[in-house]
Amino acid sequence: MPHQCTTCDRTFPDGSKEMLSGCPDCGGNKFQFTPKRPQSSTQREEGRQRTSGQSMTTDDDSTATGDSAIPTDESASSEGSPPGESSSFGAWPDSARRPADRSDASLTESDRVESGTHGRRQESGTDFTGDSTGADTSVSAEEENAAQASARSDVVTRDELPAHTRDGQHEDPLEGTAHEAPPETHEGRVVSEPDEERPSLDELREELNDQFESIKIVRPGQYELNLMELYDREEYIVSLQEDGRYVIDVPDSWRDGDDH
Amino acid sequence: MGLISGLRDSISRVTDGLFSEQEPKRIGIYGPPNAGKTTLANRIARDWTGDAIGTESHIPHETRRARRKEGVEIERNGKSVTIDIVDTPGVTTKVDYEEFTDEMDKDDAIRRSREATEGVAEAMHWLREDVDGVIYVLDSAEDPITQVNTMLIGIIESRDLPVLIFANKIDLEESSVKRIEDAFPQHKTVPLSAKEGENMDEVYGNIAEYFG
């Protein structure tokens, strides 16, 4: 899990909104962020288990159609995408938005090709069971979608952040240059490309500067400030770290702690 | 509005006697770096409480954390106002350590820049959350029409906060109060030299009137 409460060690998935109002267990408001994500492979594992469970029940109903769906998938992948990638993308229509946003044209295209294949499969009269076999991945992926993708987008939405960060001071990964973005980018692609290359630190800094431009770190000791942005934010940047991270304080704890 | 705030003040004066915890108005001293905000804050605090607030310096960004002097009671012409003075770091849109490398070594200059940047964030936060009125200090020897001044005064206006513009450093030859009055005709401009203590009577009269 990327986020861990430093008081009780409870962990939270990346993008979890729970921790935004303090740890539900111990009320702690400091969290550490672990860029490495062993959790995602675990979740994928769980997803696979769920999938296989559902596949079994499907198989009980009709093995033949289940079988027919598999070659279709293979034919889909043969159209240009690696098997893992194509099935993930094809079965993940809602969240496809995120990977597509971040991916290059070819990825988007493979996505399109894949959904086209799905369309053809349905048109070609694969019956309900076959379809649901195809949807096995879809079910697990959608759960992942619900748990992660929506939470992810919630975190990314700047407007929402202050409203939910009422009583907790934490080092907000959102504001971090070095540590936040890799999981973010990575997370968006994890289903399709588990071990993709990471963008360079400079690129990330650039990207984050564009997104969160209240303080732009030109280089250490040189800063450009966006006064409107600083004024408009409810959260308050307490300190700048050498590596470009911010420590921010959120409204309530700031009011309680006038002395710092 | 005037009637309501007058009423509120009367009530708060009564309750002041009953509950000493009554919060006075918080007046933020804002302005660009090196306008003389801390010198002014110290002048006010020394005149009315005997204590200073912070260290003054000719090097920009000496004040890098907002400092508050609480319960400063100012009396003028029978009017009395108790305020918390918040001396804020100078607000700017660019901080560059190379500005200070003549005065200190590189590491200190970089640290000063970082703290100054944090200070601006803090000052903007105070402005948003915790200030009831603003004294906007300008160096009258400098051109007042800058991005920072225009933006900050715009923000203050958008919040409908009472604001006084202090044209500081009138002891300098190049000083031009008129330039400031022309730049911000919508606000009352008070000329002064916080360093020399010039025109402080008018300063206190206006504080009592505007924030009382």
**ipTM here:** 0.82
Neighbours of A216 (CB within 10 A): 18
The number of helix segments (H) and strand segments (E) in chain A equals: 12, 7
Q: Is the pLDDT of residue A256 over 60?
A: no
Q: What confidence score (pLDDT) does residue B207 get?
A: 94
Contact A178, A33 (CB under 8 A): no
Q: Give contacts of B129 with chain A, Cβ < 8 Å.
A: 251, 254-255
Query: How many angstroms separate the Cα of A51 from the Cα of each of A111, A137, B61?
Result: 21, 6, 61
Task: Give which of A201, A192, A235, A226 is closest to A84, Cα–Cα.
Answer: A192
- The burial class, CB within 10 Å (0-12 / 13-18 / 19+), for B22 is middle
CB atoms B121 and A224 under 8 Å:
no
Q: Give contacts of A221 with chain B, Cβ < 8 Å.
A: 96-98, 106, 109-110, 113-114
Report yes or no: B146 at the A interface, CB cutoff 8 Å: no
Query: How many angstroms separate the Cα of A44 from the Cα of each of A2, A14, A15, B89?
Result: 15, 15, 17, 50
d(CA A191, CA A89): 8
Mean pLDDT of the B68-96 span = 91
pLDDT, greater one: A187 or A205: A205
Q: Give contacts of A220 with chain B, Cβ < 8 Å.
A: 97, 110, 114
Contact B1, B8 (CB under 8 A): no
Q: How far is CA A35 from the centre of its chain?
A: 12
d(CA A157, CA A151): 10
Q: Average per-residue pLDDT in chain B?
A: 89
Rg (CA), chain B: 17
Report yes or no: B124 at the A interface, CB cutoff 8 Å: yes
Architecture of domain B25-91+120-211: 3-Layer(aba) Sandwich (3.40)
**pLDDT tens, position by position, B98-127:** 998 999 999 999 999 999 999 999 999 889
| Cβ-based contacts under 8 A for chains A and B | 74
**pLDDT tens, position by position, A40-91:** 444 444 444 444 444 444 444 444 443 444 444 444 444 444 444 444 444 4
* The model's pTM: 0.53
d(CA A230, CA A212): 10
pLDDT, greater one: B55 or B20: B55
Structure tokens belonging to residue B123: 């000052």
Q: What confidence score (pLDDT) does residue A90 get?
A: 42
Q: Is the pLDDT of residue A117 over 60?
A: no
Q: What confidence score (pLDDT) does residue A23 get?
A: 83
- Cα-based angle A147, A151, A152 (whole degrees, multiple of 5): 115
CB atoms B128 and A220 under 8 Å:
no
Percent pLDDT > 90 in chain A is 0
Q: What confidence score (pLDDT) does residue B166 get?
A: 98
- The burial class, CB within 10 Å (0-12 / 13-18 / 19+), for A39 is middle
Per DSSP, A246 falls in state E
Positive/negative CA dihedral, B129, B134, B140, B146:
positive
Residue at token pair 């899990």: A1
* Per-domain boundaries in chain A: 3-34+157-256, 48-154
